[in-house]
């Protein structure tokens, strides 16, 4: 289920047709704007992200279910900030004082992380990994002393590997449930039984990929041949992303 959310979904939408450079620039600008945005601005940005995910023609509920463990992580962040930040306790609790300022800071931090994650999913769902690699290479080419081709290749492989790793984790979890290993009371042993075979399979897959690339003489001089052409739609989308950033900063 999680691999479904982190993969590319083919569809005939205007988001799929946007220039990849515009989508990368918009994600960077919005991520930077979220660092200075307040709670109301984050709620607005998350709402926009959910609307755009709906536009990709994928059920939003499936996306949210795929992020259920990420939601647990965000809830843990909120709880830790509420317990460690000094301030007036909520609900009059003395043993486990959840401070109001800590709860507010935790919710704001979790909202920012969720916002960036949703836009990352939106980018992955509407852009092929090869296009992301080409766009990263285009951005890094003017930077001196940076091997732009190697860096772009590593990012492209990372984007491709995320769904593979999640699929392998799902298969490993199903194998553990079939052997009733997930019924053990010790959560540490369950984690070991899941993580060690998953790490091994990941390293084996990466090693096979490296051997396949070496057998095909894959080198840094490989040309991409991706045509870059900005249209009115691309400039409009970039202006819309800039307007959303300014709105988030204005709302505060």
Res. 120 pLDDT band, cuts 50 70 90? confident
Ranked by mean pLDDT, the top range of 93-97, 128-132, 169-173 is 128-132
Could you read off the pLDDT of 12-55 as tens digits, one per residue? 888 888 989 999 999 999 999 988 888 889 999 999 988 888 88
Q: What pLDDT was estimated at residue 224? A: 57
Mean pLDDT across the chain: 80
- Angstrom distance (rounded) from CA 102 to CA 154: 38
Question: Residue 63 has which token pair?
Answer: 């996306």
Task: With CA atoms as reference, report the closest residue to 158 among 194, 199, 135, 124.
Answer: 124
Confidence of residue 140 (pLDDT cuts 50, 70, 90): confident
Phi, psi of 95 (to 5 degrees): -75, -45
What's the CA gap between 36 and 34, in Å, rounded? 5
Please compute the mean of the pLDDT values over residues 85-92 and round it to a whole number: 69
Rounded distance, CA 140 to CA 147, Å? 8
* Distance from C-alpha of 160 to C-alpha of 151, rounded to nearest angstrom: 14
C-alpha torsion 31→37→41→47, nearest 10 = 20
Which pTM does this prediction carry?
A: 0.76
């Amino acid at each position: 289920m999680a691999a479904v959310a982190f993969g590319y979904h083919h569809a005939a939408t205007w988001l799929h047709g946007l220039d990849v450079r515009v989508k990368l620039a918009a994600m960077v600008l919005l991520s930077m704007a979220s660092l200075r945005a307040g709670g109301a601005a984050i709620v607005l940005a998350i709402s926009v992200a959910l609307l755009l995910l709906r536009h990709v023609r994928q059920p939003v509920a499936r996306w949210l279910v795929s992020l259920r463990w990420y939601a647990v992580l965000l809830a843990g962040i909120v709880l830790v900030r509420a317990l460690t930040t000094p301030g007036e306790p909520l609900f009059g609790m003395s043993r486990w004082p959840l401070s109001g300022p800590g709860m507010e800071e935790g919710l704001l931090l979790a909202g920012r992380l969720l916002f960036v994650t949703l836009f990352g999913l939106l980018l992955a769902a509407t852009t092929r990994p090869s296009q992301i690699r080409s766009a990263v290479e285009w951005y890094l080419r003017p930077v001196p002393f940076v091997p732009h081709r190697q860096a772009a290749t590593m990012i492209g492989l990372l984007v491709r590997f995320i769904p593979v790793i999640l699929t392998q984790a799902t298969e490993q979890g199903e194998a553990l449930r079939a052997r009733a290993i997930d019924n053990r009371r010790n959560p540490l042993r369950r984690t070991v039984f899941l993580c060690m075979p998953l790490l091994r399979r990941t390293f084996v897959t990466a090693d096979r990929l490296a051997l396949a690339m070496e057998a095909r003489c894959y080198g840094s001089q490989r040309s991409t041949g991706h045509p870059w052409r900005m249209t009115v739609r691309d400039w409009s989308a970039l202006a819309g992303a800039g307007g959303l950033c300014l709105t988030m900063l204005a709302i505060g």
